[in-house]
Copies of this chain bind each other. A is one copy, B any other.
């Protein structure tokens, strides 16, 4: 804590961060208020602001007209100085969102794809979706600060898909490597349920919740866990994979919906859940029984997660979250008796945007971590 000669450049880096954090929390702000907020002298702050303007992290607002005397200079965080890309690689849809450094989504593109598409076809679709989203945002890849992609399956720290039962030819794919070919900036890959958990904490049902179990349910079932506000990824990327345990019913849960006898012939698996829930809502007893069975199997895996980590909140997302009105009561009926205390359960309202929003949040967190790392040089807002 004693600052000595050799630490001058580090002290400057620390002061750059303090200045930037103050602008982000209090801006637009003038130099006098900024010096007070950052607890630095005004000449020091002035120099720091010039450096942050030059680097592209701050922008100067046009002077306010109509004031007496020379108007005070006003500075704000340059949120559009860089952008991040969030990606959701699903079975049927490849979603790409472009967000500015404040997390505002400025452009997006959804690319439809066949659930049976193999690795090459899915990667080609992904490149198309990325190009279209960048184009819609009027940006090129070299203006991107960080990329994060969500995918089903177990993902290593290096961004390799170690295991995926959801997507054909996906196991073993170096997804981070594939994506890095198109970008100079950091590229992250994460399990999609993990990203959805981050999204719920950022903009969903779990704001201010640090200990969360997110359950994605629909054609497949998965989980993402937050402990102390951070993703629980596991030593080998396998946290939240309770669905692999045959003793709990996640492996058979979707079959109650996709295999429901009352479905019109030719109903696609992805449309089955909505139809069964709609029938249950209309008091069809067979559909209600299917929902009951589905809820029971879902509850078994959720109970295992709850009894292991004891979260503050369980958020249910994915396709079935649109049918929360029908599902919640039977789910609670089966879940509560399994648990020591009834867990608090909420239905996601992020819909199909949860994973891609979480990917944006994860990419922004990476940008911020570099920006606020005293021990590294001040980065640029892109590439």
Residues of A within 8 A of B (CB): 1-4, 11, 14-15, 18, 39-40, 154, 163, 211, 225, 227-228, 230, 232-242, 244-248, 300, 303-312, 338-341
Contacts and interface: CB of A to CB of B under 8 A. Distances in A.
A172 to B, nearest CB: 14
B1 A340 contact: no
B211 A235 contact: yes
Contacts of A240: 308
Nearest to A344: B235
Nearest to A2: B39
A341 B154 CA distance: 11
Given A4-B39, A340-B163, A242 B310 contact: no
Contacts of A227: 227-228, 232
A1 to B, nearest CB: 5
**Best-buried of A230, A306, A309 by chain B (most CB within 10 Å):** A309
17 contacts: A1-B11, A154-B340, A227-B227, A228-B228, A234-B309, A235-B310, A238-B306, A238-B340, A241-B310, A242-B307, A245-B303, A246-B338, A247-B247, A248-B304, A304-B308, A305-B308, A308-B308
Given A2-B40, A11-B1, A15-B1, A307 B235 contact: no
B311 A234 contact: yes
A309 B309 contact: yes
Contacts of A309: 225, 232, 234, 239, 308-309
A242 B18 CA distance: 45
Contacts of A235: 211, 310-312
Nearest to A313: B235
A241 B304 contact: no
A22 to B, nearest CB: 13
